[in-house]
Structure 1
Amino acid sequence: MVRRRILVTGGAGFIGSHVAESFLAAGHEVAIVDNLSTGRQDNVPVGAQFYPFDIKSWETFDFIRHWQPQVLVHHAAQMSVRISVDDPVRDAQENILGSLNLFEAAVQGKVEKIIFASTGGAMYGDQAPVPAGEEDRATPECPYGIAKLAVEHYMHFYHREHGVIPIRLRYANVYGPRQNGLGEAGVVAIFIEKFLAQEQPVINGDGLQTRDFVYVGDIVAANLLALEYSQAGTFNIGTGGETDILTIYLKLQEILGSKKGPVHGPTKPGEQRRSALDSTLAHKELGWRPRINLVEGLTRTVEAFQQRYLLK
């Protein structure tokens, strides 16, 4: 294995901290940039350099051009679909302009490769086949998905003009330890937190809307494989299966031994009805496939939340 110098943006957050941890365990040198707007400093893995910078800032730009990481792994984002709908300008400032600040710095810092945490769940829209493949038309229906697609296009530009290798990982709905309940996949964390607090979780609408839930450990594996991939590429990272929200509720209720049955609230306006990703290309090119099934993943997640809950 070649030891690399890697910058992880959003490395104090849910997914980014797991990814940074895995890079350190593999022997790489890791720095983290995270403004802690949603991340937590206690998520930062031991051994990583930590800088509490905003990705839009001059501090981040200057750090990248001087530290000169070989790889930029970009997870920092405004990740709430609902916030993006309510405030598209804020979403674009964080997700598009923030990314461009990183990419411009990457050129000056001689970064060789950018691995981008894109979205699969919000990328294809309700008109796409289920499961959707990378060749299917991307028609995101919310500003969050639109911004992610725009950043993917900018990565193509930086590859063509400056030779920076782009790898775009389109995540399905990621769940697991350290999740904070924000974003598209936050329903798992929200339900667990409510159950542990002895409060009633509420299902939006009939609960039959589906998502492709992928465990964070499998996301980590995709990033490790992308680190070794030498070409440009766009890859769906999901299980290919649909699970409805009511099923998630009932499985968590069973794992936690709760007597609180399902309670339904209003449907969220504009919520996508079905979503799942075909990850055949990731298997073919990266050698990636999901390893953790839903019950095992939910059980691991519940155990981690219980441990953190006891430490409060």
Structure 2
Amino acid sequence: MKILVTGGAGFIGSHVVDAYLELGHEVVVVDNLSSGSIENLNPKAKFYKMDIRDSDIEDLFKNEKPDVVNHHAAQMDVRKSVEDPIYDADVNIIGSLNLLQNCVRYGVKKFIFASTGGAIYGEQDYFPADEDHPTRPLSPYGVAKLAVEKYLYFYKEVYALNYVVLRYANIYGPRQNPHGEAGVVAIFTSKMLKGEQPVINGDGFQTRDYTFVGDVVRANVLALSYDKSDIFNIGTGIETDVNTLFHKLKQLTGANCDEFHGPAKPGEQRRSVISYEKIYKTLGWKPMTSLDDGLRLTVEFFKNKFKSQFDN
């Protein structure tokens, strides 16, 4: 089938593109390269440098006629969404609606949406959160993702557009962008390998559910053959605090840096961890990569990347 992957030059999207191509699908990528990178892009995919908010996207749908849209393009920085909620909504809500309207116009059969399990539930009532947990997002980013989920329900009921929502935990792995505020694993790894001092926000006991990108890709593959519309958490159900993460990465990188704490970020969620029980019962998905193995693979990637940059 023909699959349009938005954000297909980005961290998670590019891995999804690779997997879809390997399975023999035809893949079209849309990415404005604001956070994605050409070096992530699979040369076998057809690439359009384009913003999901562009009116020109209709011509792409008209010409390419994708069967499935896998939507990973996003403004994904939670803190940036707090600073500029209008921009966040423009990209994450209006951009998504631009895609959905074209899906209806041009007969797309399925819409796979990368949502957030890390930000959509807010401060949790119980741990790990399942899909029935109340949604009380504490950031405009989380609000926007929830809004798109609600729109997907509307498009399903009114236009019969099937959808699968994947609510991601904190995803890490090779190709993650170490610049900016998002992605503590990539940020810490990059700084440690460069001999710089990572900064732990607050006391470092805030927890997240760190999930390896390779496991996330398998969920995106399974979503292709699921013939119903539903919402699934993609996480490990295991909490890890930032201090623990710091020491694991310090050991793997061999860095000579201290555990340095800066001020806590205002409004930062204290604990976040999600259950994968529903998708395991429905599609047989479960996380296969332990945190130690995933971190090792991530550090190896960054070591090779920095080595090649140094060699050049």
TM bracket, shorter-chain basis: over 0.9
- Which of the numbers 151, 155, 158 marks the counterpart of 1:154? 151
- Name the amino acid aligned to 1:107: V
Indicate whether 1:79 and 2:76 are aligned: yes
2:222 is paired with a residue whose SS is: helix
1: CA distance, partners of 2:206 / 2:48 = 39
Cα displacement string for residues 202-256 of structure 1 (whole angstroms, at most 9, x for unaligned residues): 1001100000000000000000001111100100000001000111100000011
2: CA distance, partners of 1:184 / 1:290 = 25
What is residue 243 of structure 2 aligned with on the other side? 246
1:234 is paired with a residue whose SS is: strand
1:138 is paired with a residue whose SS is: coil
- Which of the numbers 33, 36, 49 marks the counterpart of 1:36? 33
1: CA distance, partners of 2:207 / 2:9 = 29
Cα drift, residue 261 of structure 1: 2.0
1:253 is paired with a residue whose SS is: helix
Cα gap change, 1:189 to 1:242, in 2 (>3 Å):
same
Cα drift, residue 61 of structure 1: 2.3
1: CA distance, partners of 2:114 / 2:277 = 18
What is residue 219 of structure 1 aligned with on the other side? 216
- Name the amino acid aligned to 1:213: Y
Percent identity (aligned): 54
Cα displacement string for residues 168-212 of structure 1 (whole angstroms, at most 9, x for unaligned residues): 000000000000036875000000110111101110011000000
Cα drift, residue 64 of structure 1: 1.4
Indicate whether 1:232 and 2:229 are aligned: yes
Cα drift, residue 130 of structure 1: 1.4
Paired residues for 1:187-202 under 5 Å: 187-202=184-199
1: CA distance, partners of 2:142 / 2:283 = 24
| Structure 2 segments unaligned to the other structure (5+ residues) | none
Indicate whether 1:60 and 2:57 are aligned: yes
Indicate whether 1:295 and 2:289 are aligned: no
What is residue 70 of structure 1 aligned with on the other side? 67
1:42 is paired with a residue whose SS is: helix
What is residue 90 of structure 2 aligned with on the other side? 93
2: CA distance, partners of 1:15 / 1:226 = 15
What is residue 308 of structure 2 aligned with on the other side? 311
- Name the amino acid aligned to 1:100: L
- Name the amino acid aligned to 2:136: T
What is residue 138 of structure 1 aligned with on the other side? 135
Cα displacement string for residues 130-168 of structure 1 (whole angstroms, at most 9, x for unaligned residues): 110001111101000000000000000111111110100
Cα gap change, 1:297 to 1:167, in 2 (>3 Å):
same
Cα drift, residue 257 of structure 1: 1.2
What is residue 110 of structure 1 aligned with on the other side? 107
2:56 is paired with a residue whose SS is: helix
What is residue 175 of structure 1 aligned with on the other side? 172
1:27 is paired with a residue whose SS is: coil
Cα drift, residue 62 of structure 1: 1.9
2: CA distance, partners of 1:237 / 1:44 = 24
Indicate whether 1:272 and 2:269 are aligned: yes
CA contact (8 A) 2:5 2:71 kept: yes
CA contact (8 A) 2:9 2:29 kept: yes
2: CA distance, partners of 1:238 / 1:46 = 30
1: CA distance, partners of 2:307 / 2:182 = 24
| Range with bigger deviation, 177-186 or 149-158 | 177-186
2:3 is paired with a residue whose SS is: strand
- Name the amino acid aligned to 2:48: Y
CA contact (8 A) 2:78 2:182 kept: no
| Structure 1 segments unaligned to the other structure (5+ residues) | none
What is residue 23 of structure 2 aligned with on the other side? 26
What is residue 254 of structure 2 aligned with on the other side? 257
Moved over 6 A (4+): none
1:58 is paired with a residue whose SS is: coil
CA contact (8 A) 1:79 1:182 kept: no
1: CA distance, partners of 2:102 / 2:285 = 30
- Which of the numbers 3, 19, 22 marks the counterpart of 1:6? 3
- Name the amino acid aligned to 2:255: S
CA contact (8 A) 1:5 1:30 kept: yes
Q: Give the TM-score of the pair, scaled to structure 2.
A: 0.97
CA contact (8 A) 1:175 1:185 kept: no
What is residue 44 of structure 2 aligned with on the other side? 47
